[in-house]
Amino acid sequence: MRTMVAILALGVATAGVSRAGGPKQKQSDFVPPAPKQIDPAFPPLPMVKPGPVIVIRYQRTDTRDVWQHYAPSRLGRMVPRVVSTPYGDFYSRSGEPYPFAGVSKTAILPIIVD
Tell me the pLDDT tens digit for each residue of 50-76.
889 888 888 888 888 889 899 888 889
**Residue-level pLDDT at 15:** 64
Model's pTM, two decimal places?
0.41
β-pair partners for 70: 80
Q: Assess whether pLDDT exceeds 70 at residue 27.
A: no
Distance in angstroms (rounded) separating the CA atoms of residues 23 and 28 = 15
Mean pLDDT, rounded, of the chain: 78
**Residue-level pLDDT at 32:** 84
Q: Which of 85, 82, 79, 84 is nearest to 67 (CA)?
A: 79
